[in-house]
Amino acid sequence: MKCSLLSRPMTCAHGWISSAVLPGDTVVDATAGNGHDTVFLARLAGPAGHVHAFDVQEEAIRSTRERMEEAGLLTPNVHLHLSSHDRLAELVSGPVKAIVFNLGYLPGGDKKTVTRTDSTLAALEQATALIAPNGLLSVMCYPGHEGGAAEAEAVEAFLSRLPHHSWRTGKYQLLNTGSPAPFQVCAFRLD
Ligand code: SAM
């Protein structure tokens, strides 16, 4: 879907990511879930690109594998890690053109298995070291569930502290889509 006037945050994020990723790039879905973002990233990176997806739940990795297979995108360049994203630096070689986090719980799955502030921040720290020049780090935050507000606040604070000469960071939120409304934070690496 195209990012137009006041589109939903994920739609805008997808538009920005589409502008950054070129065929052959390395991309990371840090929270694979049902695999929608993995498929989206894999299409942009193309068959010559490298795709990594992380999730701590077997169900999510299975669902992502099935979705990738159905889309004809499951190649030897696709790496599905049943692992926390705080092992990003260990399992992925940079530079990476886009790293996408969609925080919270697996839709339709176990709502108790949620992303957590400490591992999210550790993964973000590693992500900033892996991102290529002209690459994008995108985080969808959900302050509505238990622990979500503290995590969202910590993520926003982390991206706000990135040095402005190397990064352009921003936040996008629709104000009438829930209370508290989910929001997107992005960091674009300038050099
Ligand atoms: N991007 C997904 C999609 O397109 O369907 C949705 C992601 S869902 C909102 C969040 C996912 O993060 C859940 O599947 C959950 O298991 C996963 N998760 C929770 N903690 C994690 C961690 N430490 N590392 C990686 N994934 C984690």
Determine the pLDDT at residue 2. 74
Within 21-161, residue ranges assigned H as helices are 36-45, 58-70, 88-91, 117-130, 148-160
| CATH number belonging to the domain at 9-189, selected among 3.40.50.150, 3.40.80.10, 3.40.50.300, 3.30.930.10 | 3.40.50.150
The rounded distance, in Å, linking the Cα atoms of 1 and 118 is 33
Cα 130 to chain center, whole Å? 13
Determine the pLDDT at residue 175. 93
The rounded distance, in Å, linking the Cα atoms of 187 and 171 is 9
Mean of all residue pLDDT scores within the chain:
96
CA-closest residue to ligand 1 atom 26: 55
Distance 32 CA to ligand 1 centre (A): 5
Q: What is the pLDDT of residues 65-78, one digit of tens each?
A: 999 999 999 999 99
CA-closest residue to ligand 1 atom 23: 84
Q: Which residues line ligand 1 (CB under 6 A)?
A: 31-37, 54-57, 60, 84-85, 102, 104-106, 113-115, 119
Determine the pLDDT at residue 177. 87
Q: Please list the helix, strand and coil fractions of the chain in percent, rounded to the nearest 5, in that order.
A: 35, 25, 40
Angle between helices 36-45 and 58-70 (to 10 degrees): 50
When pLDDT is cut at 50, 70 and 90, the band that residue 40 belongs to is very high
